Amino acid sequence: MRRLVTTVLEKAEHSNLHRRFLNMVLPFAVPFNAPHGFSVSHLDEYSLHVSLPQRRKNRNHLGSLHACALATAAEMSTGLLLLRHFPFDTYRLIMRSMHMEYYYQGRTSAQAQAELSQAMIDSVAQNPDLDEDGVMVEISSEVFDTEKTLLARGIFEWQLKSWKQVKTS
């Protein structure tokens, strides 16, 4: 499944058909996210957008988008964007920490947007610790509603580490 997601992520940038296939595979690859109905709505080399629909499972007791749904969509956008450049079959990606700030209630569908620069990608790829102890990568995501109002911002710290260096008990 990991290899399939990695392969489709590479191709989804250039093809709507591959992006639709990616959206069909993601609920199986990440079962926790399946009930939320997230989908990748935009993907290019340096940015990725995850759509968060306004539906019952994503709402809180006030009828607005739940804080955890906003955080999960933001996490997904950053994680998939990192996987786009550092394939899961070569590197293990684990979120170490996240910090969310919330600004407005989401009354409509929303979209989490993450971006990476080529300089950041190069600095991670050229870091000698990437294949040894692992590298910490900090990436942010902003969540906007359909009116382009900033609902939330998340800062995520991910650990990238070569599978060769991963030790499990």
Q: Average pLDDT of each block of 10 consecutive residues along the chain (169 residues)?
A: 72 81 88 91 94 94 95 96 89 94 96 96 89 90 97 97 80
Q: In the beta sheet, which residues pair with residue 156? A: 98, 139
What does the pLDDT read at residue 31?
86
What does the pLDDT read at residue 39?
95
What does the pLDDT read at residue 169?
60
Tokens matching residue 160:
């990238």
CA distance 69 to 166: 30
The amino acid occupying position 26 is: L
Q: CATH assignment of 2-165?
A: 3.10.129.10
DSSP letter, residue 97:
E
Contacts 24+ apart (CB under 8 A), 69-72: 69/36, 70/100, 70/102, 70/106, 70/110, 70/112, 70/143, 70/151, 70/152, 70/154, 71/98, 71/100, 71/152, 71/154, 72/32, 72/33, 72/36, 72/38
CA distance 36 to 32: 8
Contacts of 126 (CB under 8 A, 6+ apart): none
The answer to whether 36 and 73 have CB atoms below 8 angstroms apart is yes
